[in-house]
Amino acid sequence: MKRSIALITLAIITFLVYCLSFYYSSVVDSVAIATGSLVYIGLSVLSILVWLIIFIYSDSKNKLPWLFVIALFPVLGLILYIMVGNGFRETYRYHRRMKQLGDDYLSPVCDFDHSQVKTVLSDEACRLVKLNKMIAINDISFRSKTRILTNGEQKFPVLLEAIKNAQQFIFLEYYIFHSDEMGMRVVNALIDRAQAGVEVRVLIDAMGSSKRMSQSTISLMRRSGIKFAEFDPVWIPILSNKINHRNHRKILVVDGKVAITGGINIGDEYIHRSVKFGFWRDTSILIEGEAVHDFSVLFAGDWFFATGERLEDERYFYFTKCEEDGGVQVVDSGPTSAIAPIKQTIFRMIMDANQSIYMITPYLIPDFDVIMALKNAALSGIDVRIIVPGRPDKKFVYYATQSYFEALLAVGVRIYTYDGVFCHAKVVIVDGKIATVGTANLDIRSFYLNFEVNVMLYETQSIQSLLNDFNIDFSRSTEIIYQDWKNRSIKDRTLQSLAQLFSAVM
């Protein structure tokens, strides 16, 4: 119903613009002005054709906001869409670069050893394992060990210790890397190992770390022997579609033995030193054993895209084996895949749930499929609980998150706001037995546009740690009551509806 109203509104706006253009060209006496108006009308006709093509044929998940822009500003909207709206050029560029690597380079060297496995997976877990191997290639490992690192005070000591113990190589890839006190502690640890003869490669996202990492810090790392690269620099952001496809991953790999990923970037704010945010709730995960190999492969692909350098030394893809502790599977996604692997994984988790679904996310801006899956689960009597921030980092984006509350609350989904805290963790647990932890938010940008990575956990001991964290988080959060939410102000309703219209391009 909402979609139909939006389309009718767009059509009316477009029609009015065209009528005004025709009227203007008919009443003026100036040939030059009349000619200009006719040219404008011609471009407007072209715009409406593009408008129809986008809606009918495009599989883009952010086409509705662009239809609104093109309808409201036919000529300017078309120009903007050509420059930054469509991702065809960027997607092709990523595919072409990755194809140069070859399938053998991007895929695991071999499947992991499944002999003498004692872990018994449920039918739901088996379906997820099969799905993820099909869409993300990576095999499940039963000889990996995981440990949850709750908040920065748990992560950074482990990260610094792993760097300190490196003997052969360090791969570090982050969306945000500050040059503040914590950032420099990491930089100095990397420099120390580089000067000791360890190969160190650092890859940061050019947009995410822009203005956060100083040029003096970059120069210092390079002079110290660290190989440093930026992922997809953007020279003129407003004229480039690159701003839509960012490397949102956070990865550390040391000697093929240890890997760390999750929501925590590198900087003081992640250890609660931000004046704006104060306490920062987040989750990372430490991986040891076979599954570390898949992070090495992932980093190698990203490094090649950024630098053109192939990382082919066998020691980069070496892995150890740990004692069995459930199953671990790495799932990555990005604009190179039209399947949206992490979205598919979360959708399958929701649909296969039998008892409970717990989620914590900074941004709840899912697409239609995930919304319907959550509604279906709640209507089926499953305990669905979602924790979102009680303090926003971006006000308009927070309105977009809130715009989905009423529809979910109406069918029994329980939504909590973390009291006065911005929670940045990205965790989903189903039935207390299957979980995913990683870098992907529950939003369209993470599902379709950004480069992300999540870790799937099946019957691992670390799932209990996640459940313990959820119990603490629930106790520190306020549940939103449906009847109270329905009585929110007209101003809030208007801002939330407007934000939802543009949610696909946030």
Catalytic annotation on 375? no
Q: In the numeric block, which tokens belong to residue 261?
A: 């990923």
Judged on CB neighbours under 10 Å (0-12, 13-18, 19+), 383 is middle
Catalytic annotation on 369? no
Catalytic annotation on 293? no
Catalytic annotation on 424? yes
Sheet holding 199-205, edge to edge: 144-150, 283-289, 258-262, 251-254, 169-174, 199-205, 227-231
Q: Which of 145, 155, 293, 424 is catalytic?
A: 424
Asked whether 280 and 270 are in contact (CB, 8 A), the reply is yes
Q: How far apart are CA 318 and CA 464, in angstroms?
A: 29
Q: Which of 426, 433, 443, 473 is catalytic?
A: 426
Q: How far apart are CA 238 and CA 141, in angstroms?
A: 43
Q: Which of 63, 145, 248, 433 is catalytic?
A: 248
Catalytic annotation on 248? yes
Beta bridge partners of 360: 387, 427
Pick the closest to residue 291 from 178, 417, 181, 141 (CA basis): 141
Q: Which of 139, 205, 255, 443 is catalytic?
A: 255
Q: How far apart are CA 350 and CA 153, in angstroms?
A: 31
The CA-atom distances, in angstroms, between 441 and each of 21, 152, 335 are: 43, 18, 15
Asked whether 258 and 162 are in contact (CB, 8 A), the reply is yes
Pick the closest to residue 444 from 410, 388, 385, 397 (CA basis): 397
Catalytic annotation on 255? yes
Q: Which of 250, 257, 293, 375 is catalytic?
A: 250
Q: Which of 332, 431, 469, 473 is catalytic?
A: 431
Residues that are catalytic: 248, 250, 255, 424, 426, 431
